[in-house]
Amino acid sequence: MKAFSYERIDDAAQAAARAFEVPGSKFIAGGTNLLDLMKHEIEVPAHLIDINGTGLDDIVETDEGGLRIGALVSNTALGADERIRRDYPVLSRALFSGASSQLRNKASTGGNLLQRTRCPYFYDPAMPCNKREPGAGCAALDDGADTRQLGVIGTSDHCIATHPSDMAVALRVLDAEVETISPEGQTRRLTLDEFYPLPGDTPEVESALEPGEIITGVVLPAPVGGRQRYYKVRDRASYAFALVSVALVETDDGKGRVALGGVAPKPWRRDDADAELGNGAQAVMAKLLDGARPTEENAYKLTLAERTLAALLAKE
């Protein structure tokens, strides 16, 4: 771990301004991912700005009938919130399928969105990784690499990492928006699709956040109702990242929405795939996974995604 300076700032706008001003700044909230990465020197911030005092830890109702979730609301608090469990159960289920209770107690909503990939080559500083060191190359793309967990769609010739969040997959299916404030004090809202860029030839860029810009919260639109499910498939029963996860909102008229986790650099959803829901899992995946470029080792994810959705749609 490299030496770093540390300060607490209790106002989001001031924190943003300060981060913009000090080169190499990072925000820290729960620290569940950042501290690990700092120990490996995968993250080497020169300055940490602790935002735990900013008060962004409420869940409040919006004028539109939705909820605004403060960036610091813990994964545990969010998943257990009565309104979330009643009106957005897919989100609650996604949250409780992730990590461990200890981690969920510390992990924040904003931090969850910004957690970094679990690609083993990203995690090994001796390996070339374009995310860690732009231009270094990608060990995961070499023949013989261990790619069973890695991405099958939305990837590029520079990076095939996945985004590891469960929460973000549920937020994507719920059409949630990320709310931010800039160093100049400007606020904006981004859909999850806008928030997460694809890697292309800049896999080190993992969000649309501008320098200093800070997540203040996540806004859920009014409840969409329907039958909501989150199915996370993994090798062991707990404490593992998804091989594939499916977030599903299914309404009585046979319509609905589907988002996938564990397959792409971002929560994966397409409107034209949603439109196929009435035609079954195969039809949905034909659209949703169109253009997939799996490796030999992870091609099973295409089958698994379809079968997982089929399990959710099955009336048994």
Partner 1 sequence: MDFNQSADENLFDRARIIGKPHTRVDGALKVTGTAPYAYERHDVAENPLVGYPLGSSIAKGRITRMDATAARSAEGVVAVITALDIDELPRPESNVAKLFGGDIVEHYHQAIAVVIAGTLEQARAATRLIEVEYEETPGEFDLDDAWKRLQDRDVVSHVGDVDAAFERADVTLDEIYHTSSQSHAMMEPHATIADWCDGKNLTLWTSNQMIEWSRQGLATIFEMDPEHIRLESPYIGGGFGGKLWVRADAVLAALGSRETGRPVKVALPRPFIFNNATHRSGTVQRLRIAANKDGRITAFDHSAISHTLPGGSGEDAVNQTRCFYAGENRRVAHHAIDMNLPESADMRAPGEATGLAVLEIAMDEMAEKLGMDPVEFRILNDTQVNPEEPEKRYSDRHFVECLQKGAEVFGWSERNKTPGSRREGQWLIGQGMAGAYRGAPTLDSGARVHLQNGRLIVETDMTDIGTGSYTIIAQTAAETMGLEMSDVDVRLGNSAYPSASGSGGQMGAASSTAGVYAACVALQGEIEKRLGIESARFENGRVVAAGTDLALGEVANGEEIVGEDTLHFGDFKDELEIGTFAAHFVEVAVHAYTGETRLRRTLSVCDAGRILNPITARSQVLGGMTMATGAALTESLNIDTARGFFPNHDLAGYEIAVHADIPDQEVIFLDTQDGASAPLKAKGVGELGICGGAAAIANAMYNATGIRLRDYPMTLDRMLDRLPGA
| Residues found near partner 1 in the complex (CB under 8 A) | 1-3, 39, 41, 118, 120-121, 123-127, 139, 142-146, 148-149, 231, 233-241, 243, 300, 303-304, 307-308, 310-311, 314, 316
Distance CA 179, CA 168 (A): 14
Q: Which lies closer to partner 1 via its Cβ, residue 3 or residue 271?
A: 3
CB atoms within 10 A of CB 234: 16
Distance CA 227, CA 105 (A): 27
Q: Kindly tell me the sign of the dihedral angle through the C-alpha atoms of 235, 237, 240, 241.
A: positive
Rounded least distance, CB 252 to partner 1, Å: 21
Q: How far is the CB of 29 from partner 1 (least distance, A)?
A: 21
The helix or strand, by DSSP H or E, that contains position 313, with its residue range, turns out to be helix 300-313
Which CB atom, from 18 or from 301, has the smaller least distance to partner 1?
A: 301
> Secondary structure of 167-194 in the HEC alphabet?
HHHHHHHCCCEEEEECCCCCEEEEEHHH
Which one, 251 or 282, has the nearer CB to partner 1? 282
Minimum distance between the CB of residue 77 and partner 1, rounded to whole angstroms? 22
How is residue 286 written in tokens?
């034909």
Residues facing 74 on adjacent strands: 108
Measured between alpha carbons, how far is 292 from 307 in angstroms, rounded to an integer?
A: 16
Is 67 or 305 the residue whose CB approaches partner 1 more closely? Answer: 305
Shortest CB 26 distance to partner 1, Å: 17
- Rounded least distance, CB 57 to partner 1, Å: 27
Choice between 54 and 245, CB closer to partner 1: 245
Distances (CA, A) of 51 to 14, 29, 65, 312: 10, 6, 28, 39
Smallest separation, CB 94 to partner 1 (Å): 17
Which CB sits closer to partner 1, 47 or 307?
307
CB 269 within 8 A of CB 193: yes
